[in-house]
Amino acid sequence: MIKRVHHIGIAVRTLDEGAETWKRIGLLEEGREDVVPAKTKIAMFPVGESRVELLEPMYEGTPVAKFLDKNGPGIHHLCFEVDDVDAESERLRAAGVRLLYETPQPGAHGSRVMFLHPKDTGGVLIELNEFADHE
Ligand code: CMX
């Protein structure tokens, strides 16, 4: 089951530069984390039950670095929290949606994540995220 929009991922060249923008808009930074499996550094800005997630690539050639090269900073993905990422992945695979990983991968805060190919989801990169502690 898809439970809520957990966050909207925004690609930024650096977390410091992005944080300045979002603090000016009026959001408060919750914390930063290096997500090594995703090759990103992230900063979270809570908004109600959701968040804005800033994404800085750890190095060139990674998905977020390629996105920035092509588009510049901007909305990179939409993340839905799900109760069971394995079941949701299999449901979508059976429905013909391309999954970007064979099986769910480790994400931030001990979560498990799957990405759906934007060409099968109306041009929007979608992350499915199952949180261990359902934060
Ligand atoms: N949103 C929408 N479309 C996107 C996109 C995005 N974030 N990233 C790429 N695309 C589109 C491109 O515009 C391109 O479309 P056209 O063919 O019409 O030009 C197409 O997808 C292919 O793009 P590409 O630049 O050639 O990139 P790749 O195919 O090598 O990779 C993707 C694209 C989505 C498969 C890859 O970025 C991926 O595997 N992403 C999932 C993992 C990820 O993004 N991790 C970072 C975030 C992790 C975190 O939350 O910390």
- Nearest C-alpha to atom 36 of ligand 1 is from which residue? 63
pLDDT for position 134: 53
pTM for this structure? 0.95
Ligand 1 mean position, distance from CA 40 (Å): 14
Which domain CATH number covers 114?
3.10.180.10
Radius of gyration of the chain (CA): 14
Contacts for 9 with CB less than 8 Å, ≥ 6 apart: 53, 55, 75, 76, 77, 78, 79, 127
- Nearest C-alpha to atom 4 of ligand 1 is from which residue? 118
pLDDT tens-digit series, residues 61-97 = 999 999 999 999 999 999 999 999 999 999 999 999 9
80 occurs within a structural domain: yes
pLDDT for position 107: 87
Number of domains in the chain: 1
pLDDT tens-digit series, residues 7-61 = 999 999 999 999 999 999 999 999 999 999 889 999 999 999 999 999 999 999 9
Contact 44, 107 (CB under 8 A): no
Domain extent at residue 31 = 2-130
pLDDT tens-digit series, residues 95-117 = 999 999 999 999 888 899 999 99
